[in-house]
């Protein structure tokens, strides 16, 4: 065959799939990090905030397993318990994590500034809104209910426990696309604040926007950021931007308030036949 023809999508973005903590709620992605630290501390093992945050975005049992496999954490566990950590230990840590998270989530469910404006712009443009999370069902229900009370109600919400594997696998994005009847992947944009968010978007073949300032990579809430001088904040945000860009994000922004402008830019690229 002398010629190969490739079909190109020239339409617009139909679906935006948002992460929850650090992207649309919980400025700084503080709730899960604090709970991971508490859970390990109860087992006699102190972990740092950086260690707790490192795998953020993953399904939570997998997140615990990644922390436990870190050299320093594994060595401390052996020192405290006289043996290596086991799958049963990870199961216990996860079982402890769940109720701890449920106790604290409501405190961290405030919408991040700009969310309602962003969603209003996207809906006016005919874009459907999906949400995905590494939380389990009961935790997600608390976050969703709080968001709805504040005026943010996604068209679909998918938890990592509802698919065969959480991020960086693409299944939550695909499940959202299937549920809302949206295809091709070029018509979808994924927005999140962690490297696994970016990787999931890339694995799904969709456009990916990473959120730097309000998310896990900076890891500070609004009041903590306000207490810092502008130069320090800028340096922290730049480090976050660099890490997320190096993960492969198509775009990196400070917060969801910048998403509508990026979606408009993507629509322009789609009109030219570009793909993610």
What tens digit of pLDDT does each residue of 203-260 get?
A: 999 999 999 999 999 999 999 999 999 999 999 999 999 999 999 999 999 999 999 9
CB-count exposure of residue 96 (10 Å: 0-12, 13-18, 19+) = middle
Whether the domain at 15-30+108-271 and the domain at 31-107 fall into the same CATH topology: no
Confidence at residue 21, expressed as pLDDT on a 0 to 100 scale: 94
Helix axis angle, 87-104 to 60-69, nearest 10°: 130
Strand 188-192 to 15-19 pairing = parallel
Compute CA distances 16 → 118, 187, 224, whole Å: 11, 9, 29
CA 138, 194, 201, 21 torsion-angle sign:
positive
Both tokens of residue 248?
């492969």
pLDDT, position 1: 59
Active site residue ranges: 19, 60
Among the four given CATH numbers 3.40.50.1000, 3.20.20.70, 3.40.50.300, 3.30.950.10, the one describing domain 15-30+108-271: 3.40.50.1000
Give per-residue pLDDT as tens, 30-77. 888 889 999 999 999 999 988 999 998 888 899 999 999 999 999 999
Q: Residue 32: its pLDDT value, please? A: 86
Token representation of residue 96: 């402890």
Predicted TM-score (pTM) above 0.85: yes
- DSSP conformational letter for 21: B
**Domain range list for the chain:** 15-30+108-271, 31-107
Residue 135 phi/psi, 5-degree rounding, is: -70, 160
CATH number of 31-107: 1.10.150.240
């Amino acid at each position: 065959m002398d010629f190969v023809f490739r079909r190109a999508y020239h339409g617009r973005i139909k679906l935006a799939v948002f992460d929850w903590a650090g992207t649309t709620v919980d400025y700084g992605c503080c709730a899960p990090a604090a709970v991971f630290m508490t859970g390990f501390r109860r087992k006699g093992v102190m972990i740092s905030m950086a260690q707790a945050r490192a795998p953020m975005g993953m399904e939570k049992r997998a997140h615990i397993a990644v922390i436990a496999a870190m050299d320093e954490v594994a060595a401390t566990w052996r020192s405290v318990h006289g043996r290596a950590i086991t799958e049963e230990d990870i199961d216990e840590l996860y079982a402890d994590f769940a109720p701890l998270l449920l106790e604290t989530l409501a405190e961290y469910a405030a919408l991040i500034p700009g969310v309602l404006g962003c969603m209003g712009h996207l809906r006016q443009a005919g874009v459907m809104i999906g949400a995905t999370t590494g939380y389990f069902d009961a935790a997600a229900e608390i976050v969703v209910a709080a968001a709805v009370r504040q005026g943010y109600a996604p068209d679909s919400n998918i938890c990592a426990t509802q698919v065969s594997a959480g991020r960086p696998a693409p299944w939550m994005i695909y499940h959202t696309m299937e549920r809302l009847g949206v295809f091709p992947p070029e018509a979808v944009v994924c927005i999140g604040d962690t490297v696994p968010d970016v990787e999931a978007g890339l694995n799904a073949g969709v456009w990916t926007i990473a959120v730097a300032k309000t998310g896990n990579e900076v890891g500070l809430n609004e009041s903590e950021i306000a207490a810092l001088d502008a130069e320090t904040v800028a340096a922290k945000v730049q480090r976050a931007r660099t890490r997320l860009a190096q993960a492969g994000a198509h775009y990196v922004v400070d917060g969801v308030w910048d998403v509508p402008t990026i979606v408009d830019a993507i629509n322009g690229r789609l009109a030219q036949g570009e793909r993610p």
